[in-house]
Amino acid sequence: MSQLDSDSDPPAGSALIRDVALYSVARLAMIGLLTALLVLAGVPLLVALLLALVVALPLSLVLLPGLRARMNAGLSAAGARRRYERERLRAQLRGEQQPEDGRG
C-alpha cells in the first residue's frame, strides 16, 4: 500500500468535494449573517455586503480552522497525486523504465 493511500491521509475524491463545499457554504452563511446584522443596524445594503465580505475573511480564519485544515490537506494530497501521475506519464513518454512501487 502506498503512502498516499494510507488511512491517516487526508480525504480525497468525494470527501474533498464535501469539505470544499462545506467550507464555502459556511463562509457564505457567515457573509449573509454579517450582512443581515449590519442592515438591521441601519447600514445600507451594498455597504453592509462589502463590509461583511471584508470582515468574514479573518473571522473565518478564527471560527473555521478545522474545516479549513481538512480542505487544505485534501487539496495538497490531490496536488501530490496529480504531480506523481504527471511525472510518471512524462517518464513513460520519454521511454524511461519506472520501478514498481506498488501503485496501480
Would 60 be classed as within a structural domain? yes
Would 87 be classed as within a structural domain? yes
Q: Cα separation of 35 and 51, whole Å?
A: 8
Give the range of the structural domain holding residue 68, as residue numbers without chain letter.
11-94
Residues 40-82 have pLDDT tens digits of: 999 999 999 999 999 999 999 999 999 889 988 988 988 899 9
The angle at the Cα of 78, spanning 72 to 82, to the nearest 5 degrees, equals 145
Would 58 be classed as within a structural domain? yes
Looking at the structure of the chain, the number of domains it has is 1
Residue 7 has pLDDT above 60, yes or no: no
Q: Contact at 8 Å (CB) between 51 and 30?
A: no
Could you say which DSSP state residue 9 is in? S
Would 68 be classed as within a structural domain? yes
Which pTM value belongs to this model? Answer: 0.66
Banded pLDDT at 4 (limits 50, 70, 90): very low
Residue 100 has pLDDT above 70, yes or no: no
Would 22 be classed as within a structural domain? yes
